[in-house]
Amino acid sequence: MKKVWRQPLFVTGFTIIFLLLAGSFVYEWVFGNDPKQTQWIEENGRPVESWPISPRFESPVHIFGTDQLGYDLFTKIIIGAKYTILSAMAIAALRMIIAVPIGFFIGTTLRKYRPVINSLIDPIHYMPITIFAFFILYPILWMPMEGFTTTLTERIVLEIVILSLLTAPIVIALVANESSLLYKQEYIMASKTLGARNGRIIVKHLLPQMREKLFVLYGQQLVETLVLFTHLGMLQLFLGGTKVSYGLMADPPMSISYEWAGLFGDTFRYLGGAPWLPLTPAIFFAILIFAVSAMMEGFTRATNDLVKVKRRKGVTSMSEEIVEWNREQLREKMTLLKSGQR
């Protein structure tokens, strides 16, 4: 693990995510969850610009401008960072928690039925997950005329569970296929000959061998979740709920939690007149995806360096170490059997 923290890419990605989360929680602790609002900008005592105010990089106030209602856009980005990042992490983690045990079970105990299970899961790759998620989440996240009957936390938890279950079968198939390939290796066969059960094989052999791949798979699921958030944001279905105004002079749908996909979907219609409104959350989305990708790349490089070090020492892989150990155990067992027969 020390080798991973020496990788500049991993440290860079981790630092970006940590600063975004820390800034979001510190801002909430100091100022609360209410963004600043400015009606106009004055110069020499005369108003020169009203909302939406364009970015002013020369001043720390409204560095990214304001939205169509005068709320500071950078403040909304900071407030929504914790909801966006932690929810995406929770969805990716829940997918892995569901998929890894089931995938290992299919790849070992149910190997004979794996082709049938894959044939049932493969069509999910071609299904529009965003559309399915929209129809399932719409009754939960779209505010009715009488208002929400659930809390913000309850809606976020329901969305996390639903989005995790929708794509969990695909992750299950990936883990099952990979574990099935490893299950055919020589050191696994030797362990089975020595009497090891599938549970022990999974814990002692398959899980250590797939640890790096599972980390990368988690990062991939995290990125896919962020992309799914943007798709739902374009459909005006926002994380934690979509605030809807009903009436003749109603405001457009708005994000309650200020999560980035909601900010992007809520302001996309201003791309022509006020491009900083949708581009600011899009840029932060790109920064977050870059941070996750950098962590995955740094982790991969660190693990590859460990393999190279072992090869220099005369050990080609961990698998050969296990195979050699199993062979020694098998020889000892055969020797005991022969001595007992004599």
Q: Per the omega criterion (within 30 degrees of 0), is the bond before 52 cis?
A: yes
Residue with tokens 């050969």: 320
What single DSSP character describes residue 149? Answer: S
Residue 40 resides in a domain: no
Interaxial angle between packed helices 207-234 and 276-312, expressed in degrees from 0 to 180 and rounded to the nearest 10: 170
Give the count of beta carbons closer than 10 Å to the beta carbon of residue 86.
14
What dihedral angle (degrees, nearest 10) is formed by the CA atoms of 190, 195, 201, 203? Answer: -130
Please give the tally of structural domains in the chain: 1
Instruction: Give the Å distances, CA to CA, from 88 to 91, 163, 260, 314.
Output: 5, 10, 11, 42
Residue 7 resides in a domain: no
Residue 119 resides in a domain: yes
**Burial annotation 14-31 (CB, 10 A radius, 16+ → b, else e):** bebbeebbeebeebeeee
Q: Which two tokens stand for residue 188?
A: 């696994």
Residue 130 resides in a domain: yes
The confidence score (pLDDT) of residue 317 equals: 46
pLDDT, tens digit, for every residue of 116-164? 888 888 888 788 889 999 999 999 999 998 888 889 899 999 999 999 9
Q: Which two tokens stand for residue 91?
A: 């969805």
The confidence score (pLDDT) of residue 289 equals: 93
Residue with tokens 């052999």: 205
The confidence score (pLDDT) of residue 113 equals: 85
Q: Which two tokens stand for residue 17?
A: 């995510």
The confidence score (pLDDT) of residue 60 equals: 62
Residue 126 resides in a domain: yes
Task: Compute the distance between CA of residue 16 and CA of residue 284 in angstroms, rounded to an integer.
Answer: 11
Task: Compute the distance between CA of residue 54 and CA of residue 56 in angstroms, rounded to an integer.
Answer: 6
CA distance between the termini of the chain: 50
Residue 203 resides in a domain: yes
Task: Compute the distance between CA of residue 264 and CA of residue 271 in angstroms, rounded to an integer.
Answer: 10
Q: What residues make up the domain containing 156?
A: 82-297
Taking 3-state DSSP, the helix, strand and coil percentages for the chain, each rounded to the nearest 5, stand at: 70, 5, 25
The confidence score (pLDDT) of residue 191 equals: 73
Instruction: Provide CB contacts within 8 A for 81, sequence distance 6+.
Output: 20, 21, 23, 24, 260, 284
Instruction: Provide CB contacts within 8 A for 15, sequence distance 6+.
Output: none
User: Is the distance from CB of 175 to CB of 99 less than 8 angstroms?
Assistant: yes
pLDDT < 70: residue spans in the chain:
1, 39-51, 56-62, 248, 250, 305-342
* Domain harbouring 98, CATH code: 1.10.3720.10
The confidence score (pLDDT) of residue 1 equals: 61
Task: Compute the distance between CA of residue 67 and CA of residue 266 in angstroms, rounded to an integer.
Answer: 10
Residue 10 resides in a domain: no
Residue with tokens 């999974």: 202
Task: Compute the distance between CA of residue 78 and CA of residue 28 in angstroms, rounded to an integer.
Answer: 9
Q: Is the dihedral of CA 28, 34, 39, 45 positive or negative?
A: negative
Task: Compute the distance between CA of residue 166 and CA of residue 188 in angstroms, rounded to an integer.
Answer: 33
pLDDT, tens digit, for every residue of 287-331? 999 999 999 888 888 877 644 444 444 444 444 544 554 555 556
Q: Is the dihedral of CA 231, 237, 241, 244 positive or negative?
A: positive
For residue 12, which of 341, 222, 332, 298 has the smallest C-alpha distance?
298
Residue 262 resides in a domain: yes
Q: Is the dihedral of CA 74, 79, 82, 84 positive or negative?
A: negative
